[in-house]
């Protein structure tokens, strides 16, 4: 079994930044992930990452990965299924089991990210891939000259609507509040200027209806909206299922509680990125958390802890 100083779980901004910093500290490091880039790779446009006025999310994550590979940090695309402590009375490290193999690491950085939150209405699961989508970047091209709706009021919802307006003939934003509270003002301004976009405030989807594909949605106000697609952008939930057995301290919403060094309540396991209880969930903050975690792991290992 290959042994590492550090195993990083997740290849999003936090995980890859941790890999870069760990390499600079000469730690033998492995990154394990089921995919490249996490949610960041699905972003249509990123306009607030330093040195980029406008960059596609997948393109940016490819640049992260290129940097990691140039530092000879391996990224292995295997889904982690379990982490267990190894060593008995004298703690030695952790065994990380994937769908294909097992790896040993003295320390762990968990950067598993988040999963898209579901709307939870009738017809949602039935029409996934048949008009219901959680990724405008992935699916916008399938809705050329069609009518679509975006559910949500965050930056993700606003940017999804702007992307869809480049393809669709009409885009509805369906938002349950009376104004955009969470959206960055710059995105709100662009949405308000786009003639193809119509915002329906104080409104929610009650049911998604169709025959083989999405045809319309019933709204809680009693109105019916004819649409070909429903893009759900109502936030995300932390992906913590593989560490639930370790009883790591979490918030009531499931986010991992970390200290200023990114250490969790389980000694030897650090966490970084959107999965932690940070307030601002952005690529730049995830990257910073990954760097901090790698630095303090280096200090721990150097001191013999």
Render pLDDT for 170-227 as a digit per residue (tens, 0 to 9): 999 999 999 998 889 999 999 999 999 999 999 999 999 999 999 999 999 999 999 9
Element housing 81 (H / E): strand 80-86
Four-residue CA torsion sign, 253, 259, 262, 268: negative
Name the residue with tokens 């910093």: 21
Q: CB of 263 within 8 A of CB of 107?
A: no
Residues 89-99 have pLDDT tens digits of 456 899 999 99
Residue pointed to by tokens 């492995």:
30
Q: Where are the domains of the chain?
A: 3-115+236-302, 118-232
Q: What is the DSSP letter of 89?
A: T
Global pTM reads: 0.83
Q: Which of 211, 252, 249, 213 is nearest to 230 (CA)?
A: 213
pLDDT digits (tens, 9 = 90+) for 118-133: 999 999 999 999 999 9
The conformation of residue 262, written as its DSSP 8-state character, comes to -
- Determine the 3-state secondary structure of 266 from DSSP: coil
Written out in words, the top-level CATH class of the domain with range 118-232 is: alpha beta
Q: Where are the beta strands (DSSP E) in 111-200?
A: 114-116, 132-133, 147-151, 170-174, 197-200
pLDDT in tens, 212-270: 999 999 999 999 999 999 999 998 899 999 999 999 999 999 999 999 999 999 999 99
Check if 3-115+236-302 and 118-232 are the same fold: yes
Percentage of the chain modeled with pLDDT above 70: 99
CATH class of 3-115+236-302: alpha beta
């Amino acid at each position: 079994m290959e042994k590492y100083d550090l195993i990083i779980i997740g290849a999003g901004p936090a995980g890859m930044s941790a890999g870069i910093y760990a390499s600079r500290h000469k730690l033998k490091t492995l990154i394990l992930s089921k995919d490249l880039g996490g949610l960041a790779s699905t972003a249509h446009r990123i306009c607030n990452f330093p040195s980029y006025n406008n960059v596609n999310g997948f393109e940016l994550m490819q640049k992260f990965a290129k940097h990691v590979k140039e530092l000879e940090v391996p990224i292995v695309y295997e889904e982690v299924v379990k982490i267990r402590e190894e060593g008995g009375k004298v703690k030695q490290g952790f065994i990380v089991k994937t769908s294909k193999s097992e790896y040993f690491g003295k320390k762990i950085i968990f950067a598993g990210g988040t999963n898209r939150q579901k709307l939870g209405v009738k017809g949602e699961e039935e029409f996934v891939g048949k008009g219901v989508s959680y990724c405008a970047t992935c699916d916008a091209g399938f809705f050329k000259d069609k009518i679509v709706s975006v559910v949500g009021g965050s930056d993700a919802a606003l940017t999804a609507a702007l992307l869809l307006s480049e393809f669709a003939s009409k885009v509805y934003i369906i938002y349950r509040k009376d104004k955009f509270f969470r959206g960055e003002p710059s995105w709100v301004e662009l949405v308000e200027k786009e003639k193809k976009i119509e915002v329906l405030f104080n409104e929610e989807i009650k049911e998604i209806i169709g025959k083989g594909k999405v045809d319309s949605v019933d709204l809680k106000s009693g109105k019916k909206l004819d649409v070909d697609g429903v893009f759900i952008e109502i936030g995300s939930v932390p992906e913590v299922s593989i560490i639930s057995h370790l009883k790591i301290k979490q918030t009531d919403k499931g986010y991992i509680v970390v200290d200023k060094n990114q250490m969790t309540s389980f000694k030897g396991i650090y966490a970084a990125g959107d999965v932690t209880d940070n307030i601002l969930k952005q690529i730049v903050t995830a990257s910073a958390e990954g760097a901090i975690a790698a630095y303090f792991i280096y200090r721990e290992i150097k001191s013999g802890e």
